[in-house]
Structure 1
């Protein structure tokens, strides 16, 4: 901060004589315009450089499956430490604010009003349950339309987990409206809607099928995890795919959902978004809820150091295909069995610590009341199933309900978010035809100074 202040004062000192001559020097405006254009060009070049580095596989570090497992154990410890820090902060806050309550929540069965969200720089849109529902992407399209209507002249960016780099070095991670691209979209309807609304899109994730003979490799953030046939890799079933693709896809899934994988992916997403940030007035980030919880050290809002954002949490209720549900269950069980994930332990620890911190408090009572009201609303009073149930909660409303609130920098999900939406979605308003899964041909591992020993 001191360096920034010093720089600003120096900048003002340099420009002071120029400002004093405004109107006296005919070429002044031209020089200022050139300076602005140069600054913009430099920022653009810096962004392009960062994004190009993100797609340069030769800059990645290759690690073995055993090294991945070792790093994953460290990430598990970090995740549990983060959970304990949150619980401790909550406990301290409730001691300082013994009468802390959540404001009265009013669920509405109507088209959500997102106008408050668009007053913030960042909007995080989290998708719960699974990534296979139809209602979630349809609501994201509604959010994009509302954003463009609210900010007709704004430069808007949609950064999403569901737009992925496929390993084509010629392809940019940043997609301009109407621009042809080899980026892979899990939700093509969202990508098409963004194009029509003149919204730029940024690919956050990677999906690159890399294999060499019997070995496979998975890109995860700044790492390539190299897996040999001798490694004890849990396998999932992929109908109609050969053994090599099945091994790669299984490794891709388990690495991606591991604590190490999620953290490294979040670091990658933060780098890409930060590179693009100066060029946009409004940034929407669409991803799974596991990336956007705003915990102490692991999630994207924290890594981006966001202070001005809204959070829109989508909760789809449309039925999940039984085969898809079985796949998720199998992945969960095998992840726990092979000690890659620790969801069960993490959830139990989180529940225990939260119960311990909130037991007997007015905050717990108000939280339980909110949950009861939500259950009642969703089962009894959901009259128009074509529209969602939703509520919004702003920072101002929380502080109004707690006028004596001290140190409003904890309870991150309620205070720091400034504005939180919860949207319970019914079945989709527009049906999309399910596309059959295609097993792609593998890409050979790139030959470079850091990869020759693995080829």
Structure 2
């Protein structure tokens, strides 16, 4: 005890002069504040430097080279699917009585508070974008996040905010800042601004063209498409400019191709990692194909997230019939030209999963869950409010007390909690800005393409 008292007195004696200086010397406080500000400025500058690099292009490739890379990506996806199915089969043999916990749908305003205790929240939107209910529910999630974490530094990183090729425009948008980033959902961007939430553009959509060729940015690649290339054409916009139509078609097919999804996910992960240390809460809003967290190239896996929440938005409000037809045409042409092979991949995935889960209690619980979802949907009364449920990791482990070695059942146990939100009508309506047909930036062929970014 005497030694402890002696140590404490010695410690206080050492610190006493410092305390005295802090009281007498205001200069020290100023120097400390300047040092902290300088450190923060240096971190901000380093973050902006990394983000600037993320706009750069390292290699120009031809359409044929892109197709070769795409074939490799398709093979990788099939291998991944088979490995996941094998892992699932082995795990169900090791845990023969595993079940999905019973769920109960609610027809009310979702309580998202459980999600906001984690660093990452992945908000996935069903594959058909352009519905009104999904972005409006994201606005409600942003409001709930700000209410739950009033003093937190919050970031919204989204697929639907993209860099347009303006060299001086930052990928990071601060609240109230003017920006030339393009927003597919301007109402979401405006809501984040009002709530003091920073935004990060994950995608790129610069319109590059010369007299004959168009160029599509894909991560670190720039894909050159000539008039001679066998490119399926679409008409997604009201623009009647043939050059823009070719660029838009090339961008659409590249974006949904296995290679495109992979390269975009790599890019998104790099951008998010560059800003990650600056934020307390990061919400990532993207299509469900990027956030399914089962394959090795999905975004949560690339970010190496250990503790996160999922919010899965499933809109049922019908999109414009013309837009729906465009989506259907894109998928059909993608398969016809062997760019996507969506149906083949889906059928293989379904077959392998059915084979792995056949005659198991896990499959029986999945079927029961599907039946409960259908019944809840049939009994849905107030369609101004969504149908929703939440499932936590604790719920899963409580229903499976003897569960061993979490591995293949990532959809059910990796996330700390998962919400499924079925939407019929947007809870708030806002006007969307009309689409504008942009003019192309001249993009000469040659090795100096970096100077045009």
Q: Retained in 1: the 8 A contact 2:137–2:427? A: no
How has the CA–CA distance of structure 1 residues 323 and 97 changed in structure 2, closer, same or farther, with 3 Å as cutoff?
Answer: same
Q: Deviation of residue 448 (structure 1)?
A: 7.0
Aligned to 1:164: 162
Q: Structure 1, unaligned stretches of length 5 or more?
A: 1-17
Measured after TM superposition, the shift of residue 163 of structure 1 is 0.6
Task: Give the whole-Å Cα distance in 1 for the aligned partners of 2:13 and 2:43.
Answer: 28
Instruction: Provide the residue aligned with 2:320 in structure 1.
Output: 321
Q: Which residue is 2:75 aligned to?
A: 77
8 Å contact from structure 1 (residues 241, 439) kept in 2 = no
The CA deviation at 1:432 is: 3.8
Work out whether residues 63 and 226 of structure 1, in 8 Å CA contact, stay in contact via their aligned partners in 2: yes
Indicate the RMSD between aligned Cα atoms, in angstroms: 2.1
SS state at 1:413 partner: helix
Deviates further, 303-312 or 436-445: 436-445
**CA offsets per residue over residues 83-134 of structure 1, 9 Å max, x none?**
1111111111111110000111000000000011001100000000411100
Q: Paired residue for 1:371?
A: 370
State whether structure 2 residue 297 is matched by structure 1 residue 293.
no
SS in structure 1 at match of 2:309: strand
The 3-state SS of whatever aligns with 2:162 is: strand
- Kindly indicate whether residue 415 of structure 2 is the aligned counterpart of residue 417 of structure 1: yes
1:390 match: secondary structure: strand
State the match for 1:64 in structure 2: 62
Q: Cα 1:434–1:196, aligned 2, differ >3 Å: closer, same or farther?
A: closer
- Residues 323-347 of structure 1: CA distance to partner in whole angstroms, max 9, x if unpaired? 0111001000000000000211110
**Partner residue of 2:180?**
182
Rounded to whole Å, the distance in 1 between the matches of 2:93 and 2:33 is: 55
Deviation string 1:143-168 (CA, Å, 9 cap, x unpaired) is 00000000000000000011111100
SS of residue in 1 equivalent to 2:345: helix
Tell me the residue number matched to 2:339. Answer: 340
Give 1:232 deviation, angstroms. Answer: 0.6
Report the count of equivalent residues: 433
Residue of structure 1 in register with 2:205 after alignment? 207
| 2:124 counterpart (112, 126, 133) | 126
Q: Is the contact between residue 232 and residue 337 of structure 2 (CA under 8 Å) also seen in structure 1?
A: yes
The CA deviation string for residues 61-104 of structure 1, in whole angstroms up to 9 with x for no partner, is 10000000000000001111111111111111111110000111
Q: For 1:112 and 1:377, how far apart are their aligned partners in 2?
A: 16
Distance 1:300 1:23, change over 3 A: farther
- The structure whose Rg is larger is 2
Q: How far is the alpha carbon of 1:429 from its aligned partner?
A: 2.5
Counterparts in 2 of 1:252-331, with a 5 A limit? 252-331=251-330
- Residues of 2 paired with 1:390 and 1:415: CA distance? 18
* Contact 1:117–1:123 under 8 Å retained in 2: yes
Mapped to 1, the partners of 2:448 and 2:13 lie a distance apart of 56
| TM-fit CA distance, 1:21 | 5.1
Please name the residue that 1:41 is paired with.
41
Distance 1:392 1:20, change over 3 A: farther
State the TM-score, normalized to the length of structure 1. 0.91
Gaps of 5+ in 2: 1-10, 23-27
